[in-house]
Amino acid sequence: MRDFLIAPSILSADFARLGEEVDAVLTAGADVVHFDVMDNHFVPNLTIGPMVCKALRDYGVTAPIDVHLMVQPVDSIVPEFAKAGASMITFHPEASIHTDRTLQLIRDHGCKAGLVFNPATPLHYLDYVMDKIDMILLMSVNPGFGGQSFIPSTLDKLREVRQRIDASGRDIILEVDGGVKTDNIRAIAEAGADMFVAGSAIFNQPDYKKVITEMRAELAA
Ligand code: DX5
Ligand code: ZN
């Protein structure tokens, strides 16, 4: 069986108690902390930056932090996030003028690098950079907000990306973000994903362990 990673998006956490919330999901069995960075320019919302990432590290979070940049420009914030303790940094290629350079910049700072595709963004951005990619994130909602519904056409796109990854022979993580719930996670895994971001599905429930355990059961089924 493939290794599946569950990455709660802290966008739906209680920001007044962020350290405790992150501890709680990790204790409940999460693998990775998904950290949504929105700038009210590339996407219509404003969230958190490197200071909050560093605060989580200072608080004692040792799990991988997956920084999803929804910002423009991209390059200027990459070193700041690397310094703040990011483990993985993904960005939207249409937000960067030089995709190849940004991927290299992220890797030069010691983080895993990945591209994020909006629902309508074509996959051709993968051409010529597969050797510089550690992860590919497919958005299954339009970015900006938690709590939206999964866009079904993402399943076909996932299958296509899975084929490209397999053909490359490289160990690239295929991540999906938006509207992931207990009742669709299995279909998403069958389409080829191995890392699952879930915000509202986890944080809007009183018992994080119960949801994460149910998700794992679906993945094992
Ligand atoms: C949306 C963010 C997602 C979001 C997912 O722009 O990138 O990470 O928090 O939230 P849910 O799981 O509620 O769709
Ligand atoms: Zn995200």
Ligand 1: does its nearest atom lie under 6 Å from the Cβ of 147? Answer: yes
Active site residue 36: yes
Distances (CA, A) of 205 to 184, 188, 198: 17, 21, 12
Query: How far, in Å, is the centroid of ligand 2 from the Cα of 127?
Result: 23
pTM higher than 0.95: yes
Number of structural domains (the chain) is 1
If we measure between CA atoms, which residue out of 93, 97, 135 comes closest to residue 113? 135
Distance CA 152, CA 132 (A): 29
Q: What is the CATH number of the domain that holds 174?
A: 3.20.20.70
If you measure from the C-alpha of residue 119 to the centroid of ligand 1, how many angstroms do you get, rounded to a whole number? Answer: 13
Residue 191: its pLDDT value, please?
98
Give the range of the structural domain holding residue 10, as residue numbers without chain letter: 5-220
Distance from C-alpha of 131 to C-alpha of 141, rounded to nearest angstrom: 27
Confirm or deny that 144 is annotated as ligand binding. yes
36 assigned ligand-binding residue: yes
Q: What pLDDT does residue 148 have?
A: 98
Q: Helix or strand or coil: residue 161?
A: helix
Residue 29 assigned to a binding site? no
Evaluate whether ipTM surpasses 0.90. yes
C-alpha to C-alpha distance for 199 and 6, rounded to whole angstroms: 11
Pocket probe for ligand 1: among 65, 89, 177, 196, the residue whose CB has the most ligand atoms within 8 Å is 177
Consecutive H or E run containing 18: helix 18-27
> Residue 204 and residue 9: Cα distance in Å, rounded?
11
**Tens place of pLDDT per residue across the chain (221 aa):** 579 999 999 999 999 999 999 999 999 999 999 999 999 999 999 999 999 999 999 999 999 999 999 999 999 999 999 999 999 999 999 999 999 999 999 999 999 999 999 999 999 999 999 999 999 999 999 999 999 999 999 999 999 999 999 999 999 999 999 999 999 999 999 999 999 999 999 999 999 999 999 999 999 98
Buried b (16+ CB within 10 A) or exposed e, 46-70: ebbbbeebbebeeeebebbbbbbbb
Among 6, 9, 92, name the best residue to mutate to test ligand 1's pocket (greatest count of ligand atoms within 8 A of Cβ): 9
Reply yes or no on whether 31 is catalytic. no
The amino acid occupying position 156 is D
CA atoms within 13 A on the CB side of 74: 27
Neighbours of 128 (CB within 10 A): 10
HEC string for 46-110: ECCCHHHHHHHHHHCCCCCEEEEEECCCCHHHHHHHHHCCCCEEEECHHHCCCHHHHHHHHHHCC
Q: Is 109 exposed, middle or buried (0-12, 13-18, 19+ CB in 10 A)?
A: middle
pLDDT of residue 1: 56
